[in-house]
Structure 1
Amino acid sequence: MPISIDVGDVIAGLAFLLSAYATWQTVSFNKKQRSLVESQEKLNNRLLEKENEDSLRERRADLGASFIKLGSSKYRLKIWNKGAATARNVRLEFPEGNDVVIDSDVTDKFPLESLERHQSVELIAAVYMKTKRKHVVRLIWEDEAQSYNEKLSYPTL
């Protein structure tokens, strides 16, 4: 039994091949589209994280301490706020003992009600020959981001 192929069969075969090609292109496009959507979601999540970090950074104070030298023999312990927010209820502790800053100066100025951005407080330091060069200062404060912040600073002479 011979098989005869007429024009309708050729057209149907070409339509089938064209349909298969179109299906393959659609599946390929959908894969690319899916990967694009996934990368878009990752990018959006990273942008949200960055925005949250920036928002938190703007509500956070960042305190530090360092010794500054005035003249040939005068020293001050400078407590400063380089953060974006105001630090409130600032307290100062010396975990390894205080043998350099005058105690009356500390008790007169601390706890400090607020320390604005780029504001600082200086404490008189009594430096003599046997004063150790490295000190530990614990800074404790509140800000808009947290009700309790603590930072150890290691100012050196």
Structure 2
Amino acid sequence: MDVSLGEVIAAIALLFSGYATWRSRGLRKKEEELIEVQRKLNELMLDKEKREAQSANSAELGANFITLGSKKHRLKVFNKGKATAYQVSLEFPEGNDCIMNSDLEEKFPMEAMEPGQSVELIASFVMQTKRKQAIRLHWMNAEGESFEKVVHATL
């Protein structure tokens, strides 16, 4: 059997063509995986941007007890969010036995609480006062949506 130089070159070309096809399939599969990873990453980045935009437009209220000196106590209600809270009110679902009612009625409901703003209420404790007080905060955002948060302030 005589094999000519042309047949050898054609056989080598056929082998290289098969190898190139095999490699291009592998690369195409990796490229599809990379495109899928990029798509998922883009979705995560969009979700993060939406959450940041929402947090930039929302108030976040909180409350805790602070001590001034040895026997002076206050309940501090504050807005640590990035937006103004409107119609701020608070209630004590388990009963109010430490905040003066006159101080509470005088300061709440508050028409608006700016970011970083706080209000202090005079607190007085006796031996029977629970050390953990449940406080329900109510407020509205600029669009009129209502929000509620229960905070457990400790003495």
TM-score (norm 1): 0.91
Equivalent-residue separation in structure 1 for 2:85 and 2:43 (angstroms): 30
Normalized per residue, the structure richer in strand is 2
Q: Which residue of the other structure, out of 53, 58, 63, is the alignment partner of 1:55?
A: 53
Q: Unpaired runs of 5+ in structure 2? A: none
Structure 1 residues 125-134 or 95-104, which shifts more?
Answer: 125-134
Report deviation, 1:144.
4.8
Report deviation, 1:146.
7.2
Report deviation, 1:102.
1.1
Equivalent-residue separation in structure 1 for 2:6 and 2:88 (angstroms): 90
Report deviation, 1:38.
1.0
Q: Are 1:77 and 2:75 counterparts?
A: yes
The Cα offsets for residues 95-148 of structure 1, whole Å up to 9 and x where unpaired, read as: 011111111211111111111111100111122233222211000111258712
Q: Which residue of the other structure, out of 14, 25, 28, is the alignment partner of 1:16?
A: 14
The Cα offsets for residues 12-64 of structure 1, whole Å up to 9 and x where unpaired, read as: 21121111111112111111111111111111111111111111111121111
User: Number of paired residues?
Assistant: 155
Q: Which residue of the other structure, out of 106, 109, 112, is the alignment partner of 2:107?
A: 109
- In structure 2, the residue matched to 1:139 is 137
Please list every run of at least 4 consecutive aligned residues from structure 1 whose deviation after the TM superposition is greater than 6 angstroms.
none
Report deviation, 1:86.
1.2
Percent of aligned positions that are identical: 49
Q: What amino acid does structure 1 have at the position aligned with 2:129? A: T
Q: Unpaired runs of 5+ in structure 1? A: none
Equivalent-residue separation in structure 1 for 2:22 and 2:102 (angstroms): 83
Contact 1:66 / 1:155 at 8 angstroms: preserved in 2? yes
TM-score (norm 2): 0.92
- In structure 2, the residue matched to 1:38 is 36
Q: What amino acid does structure 1 have at the position aligned with 2:102? A: S
